[in-house]
Structure 1
Amino acid sequence: MRQISTSIEIHASPQHVWAVLVDFAGYKGWNPFIREGSGQATVGNTLTLRMHPESGKPMTFRPKVVAAEPGRALRWIGHLIVPGIFDGTHEFILTATDNGTHLVQGETFNGFLVPFVGKMIAGTERNFVRMNEALKKHVEGQELL
């Protein structure tokens, strides 16, 4: 198992951040990492997400939503080919602060390939940072309207 975690402070309410996070079709307008998405943030639903890593080829994943608590938490799990080879549980945790929202984006990787893909996981962490920064800029820009 391997975990990565990134965080950022966003000057907007958790409800506003949540609305942007679950608008998967809107990702194309602001998200440098997950540039295309579809589906509903409802437990049991399958999403379609097209990821464009900073280094590497675009990949399409079809993770299943395992938690969706509006304004608080979104979690999905995806698998490479079949469960057990390389699984990722991705999560966004939103916590209200005096100035808006503390967002944590992280992922827990499991499966027998994990020990062999350290470079890819490190790249994923950098992509999370890029996505967090773009989310902050996008959401805070909307708050000004």
Structure 2
Amino acid sequence: MPKINSAMSAAELSVMHVIWAQGKIKSRELIDILQQSQTWSDSTIKTLLGRLVKKEILATLRNGKELIYIPTVDEAYITNQYTQDMFSQFCDHHKGEAITNLVQTSPLSQSDIKSMMAILMDRLSDAPAEIECHCLPEQCAHSHT
């Protein structure tokens, strides 16, 4: 799947959550759903949809006068890409701490936890005793030797 080059705003993500949940949706249905929880006008929602189409996150089909919106990428892909992009900006020394914090504060199913435990146990034997910092000395408080 191609890398999505344009980040989505919080508003665009709200629109996408509805579309991902529906699979595909007519513009009028989408507007009605979004206006139950947002104070957005029809034109605001149409602007957001236009941006998502331009970013190639949505595709459209015409059904008479009605547009049908279809996601071109799935939610898991976007979630993984955003996570990777965010973590690539962290100092390597802080990634484990950030992951630990997410595990402590995120709702997780037993299946999620078992999956994480299996991955961690598999990686344990190859993990270094300490993580090497790749930041420039001026970017990070860790000592560079």
TM range (shorter): under 0.3
Compute the TM-score of the two structures, normalised by the length of structure 1. Answer: 0.22
Normalising to structure 2: TM-score of the pair?
A: 0.22
Q: Which has the higher contact order (CA 8 A, sep 6+)?
A: 1
Between Structure 1 and Structure 2, the one with more strand by share is: 1
Which protein shows a greater Rg? 2
Where is the helix percentage greater, Structure 1 or Structure 2?
2
